[in-house]
């Protein structure tokens, strides 16, 4: 908030001219009375009337000045800043192929005496940690094996989403066991497109968890190109991807395509690395804070008009008292 200003300051010139004209007229109409012999004595300071008798005139002059200020339309500028948070639309795509039932960390974890935890269970823990930190985002869940399925659409209800994550297990897609990464990603893209709050906005993200190579359905590279065209960023987290699988041409093509289309690739070989990867994505993908400043002028003419009316009323009231009546 800043000091008030006048919308029509040029009126001050006319106001000053009008006041000067009134003062000149008043002085021209004044008449000095007294005999020639005693004139000098009567206009001596000791014979002058008290300044209090001019109080009504002072009230009227003050009222004129205040009314002039009110006519110049004084305003008080206000600047109001509105900050809004625009969250993201995120789809978690989870691999439910049969290999996700294997032990996280493989033989290395077994040799260290670590309690058994499957890749799927470790991934679910990482997803829970990821979801807990996304307060302003809508999150959906897609699972895939031979085919892809929507478990929950985009939602702000994190508690409900957590319950669906808990219900996901190795028996959910019984009879399937392949890894259709391309189909899972394509379904995530369609889900984001159907539920887009602002069509065309680049606030859509897919976090893809998988432990193997694509061996069924569409090629992931082709779908990644579609994701980039639709403004969707895809981040890939591989779980216990061994050296043999990593060097396969199709896997190498996928790992190169993810960063090329704006995403990040994380290679997790244990529960700690898996959780760290999900936290890294949580840090990487943040919503946008939009700040808008609205300026407006609040009229404050009443700051001047109300005192002017009071001064006018006081001036007329004082003129009704005999001692304040000007007889000259």
pLDDT at 81: 56
Residue 168 has phi, psi (to 5 degrees) of -70, 125
Distances in whole angstroms, Cα of residue 306 to Cα of each of 3, 67, 74, 309: 19, 9, 13, 5
Which string of DSSP letters, residue by residue, matches 2-20? ---EES-TTHHHHHHHHHH
Those residues with Cβ within 8 angstroms of residue 33's Cβ, 6 or more apart along the chain or in another chain: 328
Three-class DSSP category at 248:
coil
Res 163: pLDDT: 92
**Cα distance between residue 82 and residue 91, in whole Å:** 29
What's the confidence (pLDDT) of residue 140?
92
CA terminus-to-terminus distance, the chain: 50
- At residue 186, the pLDDT reads 94
Tokens at 223, concatenated: 């779908």
* Paired strand residues for 275: none
What DSSP string runs through 222-241? HHHHHHHHTTEEEEEEEES-
Please state, in angstroms and as integers, the Cα–Cα distance from residue 24 to each residue in 27, 31, 58, 310, following that order. Answer: 5, 13, 16, 25
pLDDT at site 29? 66
With tokens 């109409």, the residue in question is 29
Q: What is the pLDDT of residue 185?
A: 93
If you ran DSSP here, which 8-state letter would residue 45 be given? G
91 with 205: CB under 8 angstroms? yes
State both tokens at 249.
């041409």
Return the pLDDT at 189.
92
The rounded average pLDDT for each run of 10 residues, N- to C-terminus, in the chain (328 residues) is: 69 75 71 51 53 74 82 75 66 89 68 71 89 83 92 89 90 83 93 75 82 84 90 88 80 87 84 79 63 66 81 79 64
Is the Cβ–Cβ distance between 104 and 117 less than 8 Å? yes
- Output the pLDDT for position 291: 47
Q: What domains can you pick out in the chain, each with its CATH number?
A: 5-79+298-324 (no CATH), 88-286 (3.40.50.410)
CA distance 211 to 119: 8
């Amino acid at each position: 908030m800043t000091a008030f200003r006048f919308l029509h300051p040029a009126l001050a010139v006319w106001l000053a001219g009008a006041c000067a004209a009134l003062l000149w007229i008043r002085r021209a109409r004044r008449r000095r009375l007294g005999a020639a012999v005693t004139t000098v004595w009567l206009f001596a300071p000791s014979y002058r009337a008290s300044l209090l008798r001019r109080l009504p005139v002072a009230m009227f002059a003050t009222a004129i000045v205040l009314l002039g200020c009110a006519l110049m339309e004084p305003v008080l500028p206000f600047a109001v800043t509105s900050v809004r948070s625009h969250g993201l639309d995120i789809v978690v795509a989870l691999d439910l192929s049969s290999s996700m039932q294997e032990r996280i960390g493989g033989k290395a974890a077994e040799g260290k005496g670590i309690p058994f935890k499957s890749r799927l269970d470790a991934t679910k823990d990482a997803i829970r940690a990821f979801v807990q930190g996304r307060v302003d985002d809508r999150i959906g869940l897609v699972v895939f094996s031979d085919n892809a399925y929507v478990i929950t659409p985009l939602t702000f209800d994190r508690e409900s989403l957590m319950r669906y994550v808990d219900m996901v297990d190795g028996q959910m897609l019984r009879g399937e066991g392949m890894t259709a990464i391309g189909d899972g990603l394509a379904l995530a893209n369609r889900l984001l497109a159907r539920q887009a709050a602002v069509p065309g906005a680049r606030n859509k993200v897919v976090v893809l968890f998988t432990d193997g190579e694509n061996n069924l359905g569409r090629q992931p590279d082709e779908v990644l190109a579609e994701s980039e065209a639709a403004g969707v960023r895809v981040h890939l987290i591989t779980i216990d991807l061994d050296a043999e699988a990593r060097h396969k041409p199709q896997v190498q093509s996928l790992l190169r395509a993810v960063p090329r289309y704006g995403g990040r690739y994380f290679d997790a070989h244990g529960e700690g690395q898996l959780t760290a990867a999900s936290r890294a994505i949580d840090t990487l993908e943040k919503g946008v804070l939009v700040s808008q400043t609205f300026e407006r002028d609040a009229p404050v003419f009443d700051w001047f008009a109300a005192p002017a009316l009071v001064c006018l009323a006081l001036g007329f009231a004082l003129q009704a008292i005999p001692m304040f009546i000007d007889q000259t």
